[in-house]
Structure 1
Amino acid sequence: MMQQYVAEKKKRPDCLIFFRLGDFYELFFDDAVLASKELELALTGRECGLGERAPMAGVPHHAADNYILRLVNRGYKVAIVEQVEDPQEAQGLVKREVVKVITPGTLTDQSAIDEQKYLFLASIIQKGVYYGLAVCDITSGLFETTEITYGATTPKLIDELSRFQPSEIICNQEFADSKTCHDLLQKETITLSVQPDIDFNQDSIARFPMIDTTDYALWAAATAALLNYIESTQFTLPNDIKTIKPYQLDAFMILDQNARRNLELTETLRDRQRKGSLLWAIDRTKTSMGARLLRYWLEQPLLDIKTITHRQDAISVLLDNFILRQELIAQLTGIYDLERLSGRIALGQINARDLVSLISVLEKIKPIKNILNNFDDPYINSLNVQLQDLPDLMDLLKSAIVDEPPITIKEGNLIRTGFNSEIDDYRDATQNGKQWILDLETQERERTGIKSLKIGYNRVFGYYIDIRKTNLDAVPQEYIRRQTLTNSERYITEELKNMEDKILGAEQKLISLEYELFLEIRNKTISYLPQLKANADVLSQIDVLSGLAELAEKNDYCRPLLTEDLKIEISNGRHPVVEQTLGYGQFVPNDSYLDHHDNKVMILTGPNMSGKSTFMRQVALIVLLAQIGSYVPADSAKIGIADRIFTRVGAADDLAGGQSTFMVEMNEVSQIMRNATTRSLLILDEIGRGTSTYDGLSIAWSVIEHIVDPHYINARTLFATHYHELTDLAESTQGVFNCHISATEQDGKIVFLHRIEEGCAGQSYGIEVAELAGVPDSVVSRAREILFQLERDNQGRRLTVKKSARPFDGQVDLFSAAQSFNQTNKVIEKLKNIDMDYISPVDARKILEELIAEAKGKV
């Protein structure tokens, strides 16, 4: 037996082996030591030969799921080893083998998975500076793949991983050895497994016909490795994976990890909770699959106005038909998670209770179709056409499966009486046999006069007659003693033994036949998988659209106009999350206007706590909501499509990376300067505050000039600052304009009005805010004295900055000083394109040697 364990452990050294022995799963050697620590189990031992004892720890088989989940949630992989032959038929040791592998990215247990988000397993292949990426949620069948082969490839990879948030990554050795991988594992809790190169090669790609390419490509290599891994852990491939094609990164608005975090799209910054996020504020879905789809939409806003308009039109029709919408919502409420149920069907992992749940979904399809027939909208009509009520499948399941089946499928009581005559016969035999046992018990009590006589059953001795020792003198001579207990004796009779054989034979045949029939019904259900997946997709979309219509009505949202120009014009816009937190009508709305001419960069000043950050995030969230097709919190809105939203809001030390707050800030600024385009929306809060006043002011000034310059970024920007000197840019630089958030004093106390007004703020009210925060009176008073002295000493002085000579009256490029005297120098151009954050020492040396050689060639 120990040899069996060792053999299975050698096959899967990265897994903890749960080895079935009787009613327990046992772990041995290092696995036992680790499990005893992680699960707080008693560590014992077992003889393993040569006088040695192997450490051993075990858990009851009926409670194993909970223990396994605890291990998987901590990043471990678990392999389940079961008996795979009948012990009575075994010659020697019972054959055992791995029947299931559970990893953080392949969990399928509904109770262990967040129903409102996808659970992604990711595959990454790195070749130099290029990447292939594939992700899959095996519980729903969602599969995505792409390759990253141009631009700043490493940041793009990190952005995609930030979007998918995989629980587990498989990769090739090159990626595992990279700084990128090291940094990722430092910041995120992800299980990483290195797979052999053969899993990523052309032969591996060719093994899977669903990969839609005949040529080698990085996306295809990552996909093949992912399919290999799924097959090795699930011992099958999902039946719902048909054709796999790559998506293009530029098909959606790009949101990097900083933007997702700072805008609090799906979780809050402070405590990483859903409540308080944008998703929490707008989610009115009624199904788990709808909630996941809404999150998916939110994380990849659209760029195509036609597709956005289709969503808006559908929401508009739903909004205009209140009664029909309420009927639709009532049908969707509480509907079972068909998407994940389809995923389990595809893996062949459904039980009879799943089929009962499927019946409940199918029963709702026809009423939903009838409601959808009343809407005059092309998008909704196309969804309705795809929705199928599948009466043949529903009739089969309703006639075959009992209303309340057990969770297991090998213990009978699955098939409804009347569905199969042979099952009915066996069931009648077992039921009549058990009644015969009850009648015999009554008969024997009367015959022997022993009122406490009982007929019982266990798996070892079968049926028996139990008689207390106080009544042994009344036992008939034909009783045959089978077992002696402390307080009683157990007997059998020839008559009882003969009936036992009939009953147990019928029971075993009944259980076996029910299992066979269930497998037939399950296979029949699998044949409907394409229609079931289509239904899940349609129901998810209908749920999201009706939820967004409900949101628009209840929260008084408007339909935005999406355009290809670069204007953002919002009338009485509101922050969707803050408004919901405060309550409807309590939030102070504000107008917003940005264009590509005189109102390109808004410099926003005002006191701390006045609402500058809230306003800037508000604009970004309205743009984002508009581009998922939602209505937005405003009286009216005209949104020019944004290809990216960048945020530079707040910062903290990166202690693990050895970077100060200011360095973190400058890295973020650098990424924005390198990757922003004319179509981007930039949200920049307090650039330069992490260093000395003049250094910070100089950087902030230069950044604004770089952003507004038509030869450089030329992007729409909201720029909050306490450097009031920056407001002078509005007079000297076209495209820069000033706004401030108003505040006033009443009875010596500051009052925030939260209104955006033209011009710059008169004062910062920093001391007043400190007083509001409870800073001691003595400190506040002393601060006022020092402020008065500083203002008196510097009265009449104003910082002035000369215009620098750049193509449009701009300054030298913040990140390339050499460009000002040699625009065409190839060496300097190469230096500009080097990304110091993602270059290995070997590559750096190689590039340096090339540059030295080229420079010497020019001398």
Structure 2
Amino acid sequence: MSQYTPMIQQYLSIKAAHQDAFLFFRLGDFYEMFFEDAVKAAQILEITLTSRDGGSKDRIPMCGVPYHSSAGYIKNLVENGHKVAICEQVEDPKQAVGVVKREVIQIITPGTVIDDHLLQDRENNYLVSIEKEGDSYAYVLCDLSTGELKGYTYTGNELSFIQLLFSQGVKEIVGDKDLHDTWKNTVSQTGQASVSIQEENTLEDQFQHLVETLSHPALIRAAGRLFHYLSYTQKRSFQHIKPVEFQQNDKRMKLDAFSKRNLELTESIRAKGKKGSLLWLLDATMTAMGARKLKQWVEEPLFVKETIEKRLQLVENLIGEFFVREEIKEQLKSVYDMERLIAKISYGNASPRDLVQLKRSLVSVPILKEKIKEISGTYAAEIYEKMKDHKSLAQYLDSAIHDEAPINIKEGGIIKKGYNEKLDEYKDASLNGKAWIASLEQQEKSATGIKSLKIGFNKIFGYYIEVTKSNLSQVPDRYERKQTLANAERYVTPELKEKERIILEAEEKISGLEYTLFLEVREYVKEYIPSLQKLATAISELDVIQSFAAISEQYRYVRPTVSENGNVNIIGGRHPVVEKVMDAQEYVPNDICLNRERSMLLITGPNMAGKSTYMRQLALTSVMMQIGCFVPAEEAELPMFDQIFTRIGAADDLVGGQSTFMVEMLETNFALTSATENSLILLDEIGRGTSTYDGMALAQSIIEFIHEKISAKTLFSTHYHELTVLEQSLPSLKNVFVSAVEEKGSLVFLHKVIDGQADKSFGIQVAELAELPQEVISRAKTILQTYENQEKNESLPIQEVSAAKEEEIQESQLSLFTEQSESVRKRDSKELDIIKELKSLNVLEMTPLDAMNTLYKLQKKLR
């Protein structure tokens, strides 16, 4: 490196240790980048690429961003999956010998960001550390911005595991080199996360207390890897990281990535945004902490009846206490994001304004405690116990920090009067000095007779007396010339210089002392971090429960009953999101009944009639119950499902090179190999991606496998009407269909699910509703008629038979004639029964929908 200047040599030596990051090298008021970093950064950030002399024969590529506005540029790089190493001057340039010493003080990565500008308020930002053992994975999730630490185990194929991590909101994956090399291309192509290497996975003593609850060796190694990576990138202590919470598989409903996507739990499939998801519907939270907690609950429903019942009880109690709930909401509006404020305090980068926000949050706590005390129930009592009010801390912060404190900790104006005696003395000296200068101006105007005389100040020349050139003849001899301007002269006096010295010394001491005192206040608050985190958790849970209560009351949800025998019995059930989007008056509710004798429903009916909605509404209703929320129905009894598997809607995986049908088979395979009798399986149009006979054979085989081998509650929709005969051979399978009628050539959807089977799919009518060209519709009807006629006219090929065989055939035909005669007699009897049923109907008391359904049932009996 001898060809380069000492500064460039310093840059290259630091860059050598951080090859996978953009090195932000501090030079004065700029972060500069050189060589390949500069070329890449200039392109990504769309800034000017320049060059400079670095001692070599060729000029060095260079670009830079201002220090004071670097946050936006860092955000751009990090959001694109890059790392940024912040290299600062770590010695005073005035005292430096040679090149100023510089060190990397932090590496900002997609999974370790903590700056407000780089985070989404209502979402977690997870870093995950992975330890692989055969086909199993142990992994630890960490949100550095909130201090959350969660441990999981997973057994399954690699692709499904990666999808699961994405569904959990992971932004960065940390593993050994083998995992990095295996996963890097797959993960980077999705753009959802980055992959980093950390070989060391031993757990250091300083972190032992965070994993005391873990007994799984691989999980402990995953935690060790995580802490090594955090220490390397953040280069500071982590007082705010909470002890790891091991997420036991038997205490939560398992939802794979496919099911989360298909059910649109946290984002819609089409728009890829929150709107249109279950999370969007349920989110009436008042705080960012509550919003993140709600998202966690939606993604990981409970499988513990006691906890579900506690949440449901508190929701019911809050619905019954409207005024208490409204007061709770009002107080929550004044609570800031305490979890992230605590993290910033621990990190040592909390601003004065952050401490003011913490104080304002704490002021609301006593009122919240009073209100929650008025609510009965075990869960309310638990929340109350966690909510330590921290009155003394709030009073301490109020006495120390100005309410209008600045963000910058070196600007002054932070510490209140009365907090520190010495600081008050300096402030008085400064204030009195400035008052003296203000009065001096009036005295000098009177003494000299110069009415335009003024006393001013700037950082270079200090205080001065300014006189315009037209009045120079009146300037007294005691004035000392200090500066000449185009239209004026500036002077000083011995008295003014003395006051300037006193004022500037006081202000310098004020600034230094305020900075020191603020750091002391921040360090003092650190002692409260564990109890503040418990308080933040309690507030976030209260916020979610009040959100459930508000939504349940607004949309007329009911408290579900947790079934002891595995039965599903929903009366007047609705799809919560669809109901919100459309006019609730137009939504057609449906019943769902599943039990041991009726564990599988085979659903037929036309496209657009509501089969998928019917299936999804059961899954979403189950999720809502298992997170502790009321459900959209008139009555609801539901079991706790250990898993929900869904295959609804068409989707392919272009990046993975998999077709729609392949994705369908993979998702179905995951359900068939993972489900238990306590699971819920939703399969929509399985087999449609291949030929008719292939698809029908697969669909029937899958139905039989679930029925005979798994016995899980299952909804299976299909257009293969031939499968409806399975009701006769599979005792627990029942046919249901979504009703629709054809009226004057037009298709009318009734959206009502009733027992029985559809006799046609109305595919051409649906195409007509989609306004396909009339020529196409007419031709399709003609072709369909041809196919139907061919089917009716098909007969068995004629074969030669012996006389004995012919006699056997005649006897068979006679028997058939007898059976047909009996059938005609029974039909006449059935028609009489239907006429009686018609006479007994009170049409005037029936709704149009009931009338159409009844008419349809009677017509079907006649057929």
Say whether residues 1:719 and 2:716 are aligned partners: yes
> Counterpart of 2:170 in structure 1: which amino acid?
P
Residue 102 (structure 2) aligned to one of 74, 87, 96:
96
Pairing 1:405–2:408 present: no
Task: Mark the runs of 5 or more structure 2 residues left unpaired by the alignment.
Answer: 1-6, 797-863
Q: Which piece of structure 1 moves more, 443-452 or 289-298?
A: 443-452
**Does the C-alpha gap of structure 1 residues 53 and 477 become closer, same or farther in structure 2, counting only changes over 3 Å?**
farther
More displaced, 521-530 or 44-53? 44-53
Q: Is the 8 A contact 2:263 2:620 kept in 1?
A: yes
- Give 2:696's aligned residue: 697
State yes or no: 1:611 paired with 2:614.
no
Task: Judge conservation of contact 2:687–2:698 (CA < 8 Å) in 1.
Answer: yes
Secondary structure in 1 matching 2:292: helix
Q: Deviations over 1:552-593 (max 9, x none)?
A: 111111111113433211111000000001133321000001
**Equivalent of residue 749 in structure 2, options 744, 748, 752:** 752
- 1:486–1:713 Cα change, 3 Å: farther
Amino acid at match of 1:743: A
1:527 paired residue number: 527
Residues 203 and 342 (structure 1), Cα distance of their counterparts in 2 relative to 1, 3 Å cut: closer
Counterpart in 2 of 1:819?
none
Residues in 2 aligned to 1:394 and 1:274: alpha-carbon distance in whole angstroms: 36
**Mapped partners of 1:338, 1:616: distance in 2:** 39
Q: How does 1:96-135 map to 2 (within 5 A)?
A: 96-135=102-141
1:529–1:458 CA distance, 2 compared to 1 (3 A): same
Q: Deviations over 1:518-554 (max 9, x none)?
A: 1111111111112211111111111111111122111
**RMSD of equivalent CA atoms:** 2.4
Partners of 2:653 and 2:660 within 8 A in 1: yes
Contact map agreement 1:125 1:175 (CA 8 A) in 2? no
Greater displacement, 139-148 / 3-12: 3-12
- CA deviations on 1:658-716 (whole Å, 9 max, x unpaired) are 2222222222222222112211111101111111111111111111111111xx22211
Q: For 1:22-421, what aligned pairs fall within 5 Å after superposition?
A: 22-148=28-154, 151-152=155-156, 154=158, 157-158=161-162, 160-178=164-182, 182-195=185-198, 197=199, 199-200=200-201, 202=202, 204=204, 208-212=208-212, 217-244=217-244, 246-421=246-421
Q: 1:228 to 1:485 in 2, by over 3 A?
A: farther
> C-alpha distance in 2, partners of 1:3/1:465?
50
Deviations 1:819-844 (A, max 9, x none): xxxxxxxxxxxxxxxxxxxxxxxxxx
Moved more, 322-331 or 573-582: 322-331
Query: Aligned pair in 2 of structure 1 residues 515, 206: CA closer, same or farther (>3 Å)?
Result: closer
Using the alignment, how far apart are the partners of 2:101 and 2:208 within structure 1? 31
Deviates further, 573-582 or 373-382:
373-382
> Residues 441, 192 of structure 1: CA spacing in aligned structure 2 closer, same or farther, 3 A cutoff?
farther
Kindly provide the amino acid, as one letter, of the partner of residue 672 in structure 2. Answer: M
Q: How many residues align?
A: 790
Residues 1:479 and 1:94: Cα distance change in structure 2 (over 3 Å):
farther
Q: CA deviation at 1:242?
A: 5.0
Give, as a single letter, the amino acid of the residue that structure 1 aligns with 2:258: N
TM superposition shift of 1:298: 0.6
Counterpart CA distance in 2 for 1:50 and 1:154 is 48
**Partner of 1:554 in structure 2?**
554
Structure 1: which 5+ residue stretches go unaligned? 800-859
Taking only the aligned residue pairs, the percentage that are identical comes to 44
Distance 1:616 1:352, change over 3 A: same
CA contact (8 A) 1:305 1:563 kept: no
Which secondary structure state, in structure 2, belongs to the residue aligned with residue 125 of structure 1? strand
| Distance in 2 between residues matched to 1:481 and 1:798, nearest whole Å | 122
SS at match of 1:167: strand
Measure, in 2, the Cα distance between the counterparts of 1:551 and 1:721: 34
Moved more, 245-254 or 551-560: 245-254
Inter-partner Cα distance in structure 2 for 1:185 and 1:514: 47
Instruction: Find the residue that maps to 1:650 and give its secondary structure.
Output: coil
The answer (yes or no) to whether the contact 2:601–2:733 under 8 Å persists in 1 is yes
Determine if contact 2:127/2:142 at 8 Å carries over to the other structure. Answer: yes
Q: TM-score, normalised by structure 2?
A: 0.87
| Cα shift at 1:452 | 5.3
Tell me whether 1:542 sits opposite 2:539 in the alignment. Answer: no
Distance in 1, Cα, partners of 2:206 & 2:91: 35
Structure 2 SS opposite 1:775: coil
Question: Would the alpha carbon gap of residues 781 and 335 (structure 1) be closer, same or farther in structure 2, given more than 3 Å must change?
Answer: same
Using the alignment, how far apart are the partners of 2:58 and 2:324 within structure 1?
Answer: 74
**How far apart are residue 107 of structure 1 and its match?**
1.8
CA contact (8 A) 2:149 2:243 kept: no
* Change in 2 beyond 3 A, CA 1:443/1:798: farther
Bigger mean CA deviation after superposition, 651-660 or 390-399: 651-660
2:366 aligned counterpart, secondary structure: helix
CA contact (8 A) 1:212 1:245 kept: no
776-785 vs 18-27, greater mean Cα deviation: 18-27
Give matches, 1:651-662, under 5 Å.
Answer: 651-662=650-661
Quick one: structure 1 residues 540 and 605, their matched pair in 2 at CA, closer, same or farther if it must change by over 3 Å? same
* Counterpart for residue 505 of structure 2: 505
The answer as to whether partners of 2:140 and 2:152 remain within 8 angstroms in 1 is yes
> Residue 779 of structure 1: CA displacement?
0.9
Deviation per residue, 1:268-308 (Å, 9 max, x gap): 00011111101111222111111111111110011111111
Shift of 1:476: 5.7
Letter in 2 for 1:795: K
Query: Which sits farther off after the overlay, 663-672 or 622-631?
Result: 663-672
Contact 2:334 2:361 in 1 (8 A): no
Q: CA, structure 1 residues 62+162, in 2 after alignment: closer, same or farther (shift >3 Å)?
A: closer
Query: What do residues 373-421 of structure 1 show as CA deviations (whole Å, max 9, x unaligned)?
Result: 2122111012112211112111111111111001011221111112211
Give, in whole Å, the separation in 1 of the partners of 2:629 and 2:660: 36
Aligned to 2:806: none
Displacement of 1:456 after TM fit? 4.0
Comparing 494-503 and 314-323, the one that deviates more: 494-503
> Which amino acid counterpart does residue 780 of structure 2 have in structure 1?
A
1:132-189 residue CA offsets vs partner (Å, 9 max, x unmatched): 21111111111112333xx4253663354134221112211121132x5543333342
CA–CA distance in 1 between the matches of 2:234 and 2:137?
A: 26
Structure 1 residues 378 and 215: CA distance shift in structure 2, 3 A: closer
Q: Are the equivalent residues in 1 in contact too, given 2:148–2:244 (CA < 8 A)?
A: no
Alignment of 1:563-642 (within 5 A): 563-597=563-597, 599-642=598-641
Q: Name the CA distance, whole Å, in 2 between partners of 1:388 and 1:207.
A: 26
TM-score norm. by structure 1 comes to: 0.88
Larger radius of gyration: 2
Native 8 Å contact 1:418 1:424 kept in 2? yes
Tell me the alpha carbon deviations over residues 189-216 of structure 1, each in whole angstroms, 9 at most, x when there is no partner. Answer: 2122112x2x21x354786443227978
SS at 2:636's partner residue?
Answer: strand
Q: Distance in 1 between matches of 2:432 and 2:795?
A: 103
